[in-house]
Chains A and B, each alone.
Chain A
């Protein structure tokens, strides 16, 4: 069993990775796969959507006689990332309270 990640969270994860530095497609997919299980065909639509919404831009850089497309987060993307990050942290906090039985601890005190 694994936990399903929603599109919003996927977007947020990609933006969080790109906040650190620019990535090209394959490296970014590898980085995502270190964190979660996703198929290799998932990333293109996500990047495409983020690009269309203006959360990231792309630029080409030559590598061994061909071009690599790099993804760079925009100011709008940073804003969006902050929103997703806050949503995630709130969500995580409230679920932690349920899973770690903090209600019970509160009552015992």
Chain B
């Protein structure tokens, strides 16, 4: 047996963990390579390609058929995490969406009530101001107070909205990272 055949045979033994097709592919490549290069003796082959063991390690490390080279159990782990995250996200959406809708409709109703009563009070103030000055001033005061309450409410709503948007953004980013990690 010449050096090339011996080298290929040893390489084959070190590649036994690879699927048959992958192993065959690598062996054919290197057999052809050594013949084309015209390497004659063992030392020359080892000097150029490394020992069969070293070469096999490089082939296995870089030739796995799966696109990413993480160990399989880690991939499974990721898959499980991905599924869990998806379920969590669905539950969150199911709970969050009605809650947010409820809060929003409450806010709109409150603002409508405030604006409505404000307008009524101002109208009352306008009509009474001519007949009874003090009653008119009283209503005017209530109206101004209502405007104040409205402004405070808008401020609080804006503040809440900002945090809500930030929270949702964060959740989306977190989820997207999970999905990316899966790929």
- Interface residues of A, Cβ cutoff 8 Å to B: 24-27, 29, 39-41, 44-45, 47-49, 52, 66-69
Q: Of all chain A residues, which has the CB nearest B57?
A: A41
- A44 surroundings in chain B (CB, below 8 A): 26, 29-30, 33, 59, 63
Q: How far is the CA of A45 from the CA of B55 in the complex (A)?
A: 11
- Cβ of A25 and Cβ of B36 under 8 Å apart? yes
Distance from A94 Cβ to chain B, minimum over Cβ atoms (Å): 28
- Cβ of A26 and Cβ of B28 under 8 Å apart? no
Distance from A53 Cβ to chain B, minimum over Cβ atoms (Å): 9
- The reply to whether the CB of B35 lies closer than 8 angstroms to some CB of chain A is yes
Q: How far is the CA of A47 from the CA of B29 in the complex (A)?
A: 10
- Cβ of B32 and Cβ of A45 under 8 Å apart? no
Q: How far is the CA of A52 from the CA of B63 in the complex (A)?
A: 10
Mind listing 26 A-B residue pairs with CB under 8 Å?
Answer: A24-B32, A24-B36, A25-B29, A25-B36, A26-B32, A26-B33, A27-B36, A40-B33, A40-B37, A40-B48, A41-B49, A41-B50, A41-B55, A44-B26, A44-B29, A44-B33, A45-B58, A45-B59, A45-B63, A48-B25, A48-B26, A48-B62, A49-B62, A52-B65, A68-B32, A68-B36
How many residue pairs bridge A and B at CB < 8 Å? 47
- Interface residues of B, Cβ cutoff 8 Å to A: 25-26, 28-30, 32-33, 35-37, 48-50, 54-55, 58-59, 62-63, 65
Q: How far is the CA of A27 from the CA of B35 in the complex (A)?
A: 12
- B62 surroundings in chain A (CB, below 8 A): 45, 48-49
Known contacts A29-B33, A44-B63, A48-B26; 13 additional CB pairs below 8 A are A25-B29, A26-B32, A26-B33, A26-B37, A27-B36, A40-B33, A44-B33, A45-B63, A47-B29, A48-B25, A49-B62, A66-B35, A69-B29
